[in-house]
Amino acid sequence: MKNKKTISIVLLMAVLLAGGITIGMNWDSWFGKDDPKDSLAVDDQAEDWTGNKETYTGKKNTDTIDIPGYGAIDLQADTVKQAVNLYNPEQNNCYFKMSLLLEDGTKLWESQLIAPGKAVYKITLNQALKAGEYKDATLKYECFKMNEERTPLNGSEIKLNLNVRK
């Protein structure tokens, strides 16, 4: 009787160990894992920027990145669909990944990679906002080389107000 109990315990432990190993080896394929490259895909929906472009008259300096600044962004209240004008200046030689954050760090939106000379005019927020002024929001720029590895470069965080109107 004691031998049967010992054998049963050993078999149960072996089955649990094998099950744990199987689950561990297949966790990502079964339950998904965010591939970091997925968040660095080039946005094929980005459009040519048609806003007031600054005229560049000198030789392109490949060591600098031009970051557009904004004092405020106007949004529509109570909807996630928004019209904006966010772009990567054509003189840059890097991709932009932009994120819009509330003062408390809540991420309202994040772009894919935006190529130089391209813009995003329509975005979908992660949550609708009530009418009001949201001070000290952040437009975060992450910059990446235009190589296969998408090597990270310097970025910037622009403090601005979100004017949310009905």
Range of the domain at 21: 2-33
Residue 86 has pLDDT above 80, yes or no: yes
24 and 100 together in one domain: no
How far is CA 142 from each of CA 25, 154, 157, rounded to the nearest angstrom? 33, 7, 9
83 and 22 together in one domain: no
E strand spans, the chain: 47-48, 72-76, 81-87, 94-101, 107-110, 118-124, 132-145, 156-165
Tell me, yes or no, whether 57 lies in a domain.
no
18 and 74 together in one domain: no
**pLDDT tens column, 107-150:** 999 999 999 999 999 999 999 999 999 999 999 999 999 999 99
21 and 46 together in one domain: no
19 and 73 together in one domain: no
89 and 146 together in one domain: yes
pLDDT at 47: 82
pLDDT at 150: 94
**pLDDT tens column, 16-38:** 777 777 776 666 666 654 555 55
pLDDT at 120: 94
114 and 93 together in one domain: yes
**pLDDT tens column, 60-84:** 556 789 999 999 999 999 999 999 9
pTM of the predicted protein model: 0.68
Tell me, yes or no, whether 59 lies in a domain.
no
